[in-house]
Amino acid sequence: MARLLVVQHCPTPRLVTLADAVLAGARDPAIEGVEVVVRPALEATVEDVLSADAYLLGTSANLGYVSGALKHFFDSVYDDVREPTAKRPFSFWIRGGYDTTGAERAMESITTGLQWSLAAPPLVFTGDVDPHLDAATELGATMAALLMP
């Protein structure tokens, strides 16, 4: 069975709502043969990354960067997963209060270094999450559907 690893940092109710929408899409009953594994960014391990076939990353934009928890995840796994996971598909979502520019740049820089392949347009926005919940569900479904046998 294919495995989609969702690594996220959701410290606020808004971000939990956003993540729930992403996961609802990834777990759509019409998508078969795909296991969705969810890990908080501070708990995801090298083994989680190595055993996944694709990645979906979620974070807030904090002080112009990805969350410290997601940065910690990348710092913890980067060297051990870079070569074995090269070319694997991924996408991400970023929600910012005012600006996401630095967080987007960081995500692109880190995943380029990992040599991961962007498989679905990322969801990046500022402000309220409600207008973006359908897009979040679509992002989750798209990433899971890409792994269907």
CATH code of the domain covering residue 59: 3.40.50.360
pLDDT at 11 over 90: yes
Residue 43 corresponds to which tokens in the numbers above?
A: 């708990």
Question: What is the CA 134 to chain-centroid distance, rounded?
Answer: 16
Is there a contact between 35 and 1 (Cβ–Cβ < 8 Å)?
A: yes
Domain of residue 11: give its range: 2-145
DSSP assignment letter at 47: H
User: Looking at residues 126-137, what average pLDDT do you find?
Assistant: 97
What's the pTM? 0.97
DSSP assignment letter at 147: T
pLDDT band at 63 (very low <50, low <70, confident <90, very high): confident
Is there a contact between 120 and 142 (Cβ–Cβ < 8 Å)?
A: yes
Task: Please state the domain count of the chain.
Answer: 1
User: Looking at residues 56-78, what average pLDDT do you find?
Assistant: 96
pLDDT band at 85 (very low <50, low <70, confident <90, very high): very high
Question: What is the CA 20 to chain-centroid distance, rounded?
Answer: 13
Specify the 3-state DSSP secondary structure of 119: coil
pLDDT at 64 over 90: no
For residue 50, what pLDDT is reported?
Answer: 98
Q: Return the half-sphere exposure (C-beta side, CA atoms, 13 A cut-off) of residue 59.
A: 26
pLDDT at 65 over 90: yes
